[in-house]
Structure 1
C-alpha cells in the first residue's frame, strides 16, 4: 500500500484522509415485516450500494479550522465519522494525531436514565479524562453549560439544546488536540452559539485542530479559514472558506 503524501512542514498534520472510500448498502425491503416474509419465502432481499465517499483525500494542519461543506447526502457527516473512528473506510486510510473529541450527534454517549452529573463523568471518561481531571473541571463544565439547576436531573428530560450545551461543555474541557463538530452548534439560542464560537476560536488559537460540518454558512465563515466542498462523495474544491461557500452556493 502506498505511503500517504505528507506535506513538508515543521509540524505534521493533525488529520490525514488518504484516498478514502466508503460504501453503504441500501436494502429495498421497506419494513421488518416485508423482510421477514421474504425470508420465509426464501426470496432474496435486493440490496443496492450507495457510495458515500469516493477516493477522498485531504490534510488538516495543527491549529487549522476547516469546514467540510456539501449538500445533503454529499458525504460530509460520513467524513467526520471516519475521522472520529466511529466508522472505518472500505478503502484508503484515516490518520489523526493526538486526542480527538467529537460532537457528532447531540447527546451521543449520554445515558438517558443517568443524571447530568453522572453523564458528565461518563462522557468525560469516554473522551479519556481521568477521575481527578473531571473532579477538577466539573464546576467549569457545569458553569459553561449554563444548566446548573438541572445537573442532577435525568437527561432523558433534557431538551436537545440542553444536551448540546452539556456535551459541548464536556468536550471543550478535555485536553484535546482535534475537535470534530457536526451541526450541533445550530442547536440552542443565539447567545450560547456565540459563546461556543468564541470558545472554539480560543481553542484553535492554542493549537487545537477543528473539522466542522454545518449548513450555517455565516458560522462556517466566522470559525474557519478553509473549506472543503464535497459532492457525491468526491472533493470538488479545497481552498479559502469564502470561495468554498461560493462554490457550494453555485456563485
Structure 2
C-alpha cells in the first residue's frame, strides 16, 4: 500500500467562545496546555485517520461539528493543539472560494494574482488563462473590476482558477451548493475529470447526491469526534438514522 497523502493522529484543536479583547502573551502561552479553560471548547478531539492517493472522501455531520475546521487543518490554515497532521502533497482548496480576490482589480488581474498566490508561475497562468476564462464564461468582463461582478460570476472565476491548479489534493467545502444548475453540473464534470486523473478528493457537503456521486468513503463527525470511518453509504445511513433524516 502506498504512503498516505493525509494522516491525522489523535488530533485536537481548541477555540475560545466570545472572548472580548486581545489575548495577552500569557494567554497565548497557556493555550498550549492540554487542559480546557473557561470559555474554551474543543472543535476537534482525538481524530485519527489516513487518506490514500486517489481516494474520494466525504465528510458529514451537522453544522458546528468540526467539518470545516478539519479541512482548514489539512490546508494548514489552522494548527492542531494536540496530535499530528501530516499532508504529503500540495492542496488545491475550494474553501471560502472567493477569498483573496481584490475588489478594485480587474478580472484579468485577479486571475493572475490569485493563481500566483497558489503557486503558479506567470508563464503557467498565461498558458491556462484562456481555459480559465472559457470555463468561467466571463470573456466579456476581463477588464471589469471584480467588485462589479455578481456573486455567481465571482464563484465561477474562483472555481475556474482553483480547479486548474495541479495540486494532487482537492479540498471542497460546500462550494458546489452555489451557482446556477448548469454551472454546478459543469463543476461536477470537472471534479470527475480530476478524480479520473488520480487526484485525491476531500469534500464537505450536506448534499447526499453529491457525496454518493463522488465519494467511496465517508467520515462522520459529531461534537468534534470521529464517529464513523466507513464506506460512504454506511456513513450516510448511520448519520440519517441518528437524526431521523429521510434521504431525498
TM-score (normalizing by structure 2) = 0.87
Structure 1 spans left out of the alignment, 5+ residues: 1-8, 30-34, 37-45
Instruction: Please state whether the residue corresponding to 2:58 is helix, strand or coil.
Output: strand
1:186 alignment counterpart: 177
Aligned-pair RMSD on alpha carbons? 1.7
Spell out the pairing of 1:182-221 with structure 2 (5 A cutoff). 182-221=173-212
Shift in Å at residue 106 of structure 1? 2.9
Distance 1:190 1:82 in 2: 30
Shift in Å at residue 28 of structure 1? 5.5
Spell out the pairing of 1:156-171 with structure 2 (5 A cutoff). 156-171=147-162
Is the CA contact (8 Å cut-off) linking 1:97 and 1:177 kept in structure 2? no
Structure 2 spans left out of the alignment, 5+ residues: 23-36
Distance 1:159 1:226 in 2: 35
1:177 aligns with 2:168: yes
Is the CA contact (8 Å cut-off) linking 1:226 and 1:239 kept in structure 2? yes
Is the CA contact (8 Å cut-off) linking 1:26 and 1:47 kept in structure 2? no
Is the CA contact (8 Å cut-off) linking 1:106 and 1:160 kept in structure 2? no
Is the CA contact (8 Å cut-off) linking 1:28 and 1:47 kept in structure 2? no
1:14 aligns with 2:28: no
Shift in Å at residue 189 of structure 1? 0.9
Distance 1:245 1:148 in 2: 40
Distance 1:18 1:157 in 2: 45
Number of equivalenced pairs? 228
Cα shift readout 1:150-185 (whole Å, capped 9, x = no counterpart): 222111122222222111111111111111110111
